[in-house]
Amino acid sequence: MKATLYVHKTNDEAELDLPIHGLREIVEEFSACYRLTRRESEILALMAAHGFTNREVAERCMITEKTVKIHISNMMKKIGIGSIRKLFSLLFCHYSDIRTPNSEAIKITVV
């Protein structure tokens, strides 16, 4: 199944239409925990949801590839990790720790 991502530029911020229900909330909560910027959160969501390369993220966000690398580096410094794999692992662990009010895990589905 191939998912489509739509990024709409509005006032220098992109609104993401993610193909995985629940991912937006997970990334927002994760970003709040680690004090990631809106752009860092956007880049994390694009990479986690689609496995985009730095170049693909840059094209979607209309920024340079170097800027994407800087954002990724800043995220890793804030979190205190040294690899993108660890970043995704922490995001996944964060998801598995989030519970709804009735203590059931939040379900992520691909549309």
33 within 8 A of 15, measured Cβ to Cβ: no
Considering the four listed CATH numbers 1.10.10.10, 3.30.750.24, 3.40.50.1000, 3.40.50.1220, the one that applies to the domain covering 6-99 is 1.10.10.10
Tokens of 6: 């739509």
Q: At what angle do helices 38-50 and 23-34 cross, to 10 degrees?
A: 140
**For strand 6-10 and strand 109-110, is the pairing parallel, antiparallel, or unpaired?**
unpaired
pLDDT tens string, the chain, 111 residues long: the values are: 343 344 444 344 445 555 566 777 888 899 999 999 999 999 999 998 888 999 999 999 999 999 999 999 999 999 999 999 999 989 888 776 654 444 444 444 444
106 within 8 A of 24, measured Cβ to Cβ: no
Domain parsing of the chain, residue ranges = 6-99
